[in-house]
Amino acid sequence: MNKNLEKILEEYRNKTRTYKEFTNTINFLLESILKKGSHKYHIYSRLKKIESLKEKIERKLLKGKVYRRLKDIKDISVIRIIFYTENDRKKFVSKIQKEFKDSLEIT
């Protein structure tokens, strides 16, 4: 196992609880906003499993991408909201942007 991989996995083990709490908290906040808005949606959240993290790092290394630190990996915690209508999506994005004063990048 390469040195960067070992370092990243160790850091992830040490921070897993923090990442899990963060994911759950953001999921709860977003779902609260969604429920108040009567949107039709499905929300999904997940924390990358350590095995998946290791596989990703190794797979990317084969393609020439080298992760040096845990913070270089962007999809450790994911929250995905699927809206059933474009109108609901637009209303929600607008509400979030106003709430956070456009400090978030939302796609």
pLDDT at 25 over 90: yes
- pLDDT digits over 72-81, tens only? 999 999 999 9
- pLDDT digits over 37-65, tens only? 888 999 999 999 999 999 999 999 999 99
Q: Which two tokens stand for residue 107?
A: 């796609």
| φ/ψ (deg, to 5) at 40 | -95, 115
The distance of Cα 75 from the centroid of its chain, to the nearest Å, equals 5
pTM here?
0.79
SS3 78: strand
Among 36, 17, 29, 30, residue whose Cα is nearest residue 76:
17
The alpha helices in 1-107, defined as continuous H runs, are 3-36, 50-62, 86-99
Q: Give the residue with greater pLDDT, 45 vs 101.
A: 45
CA separation for the pair 31, 8 (Å, rounded): 31
* Residue 20 exposure: Cα atoms within 13 Å on the Cβ side: 8
pLDDT of residue 102: 55
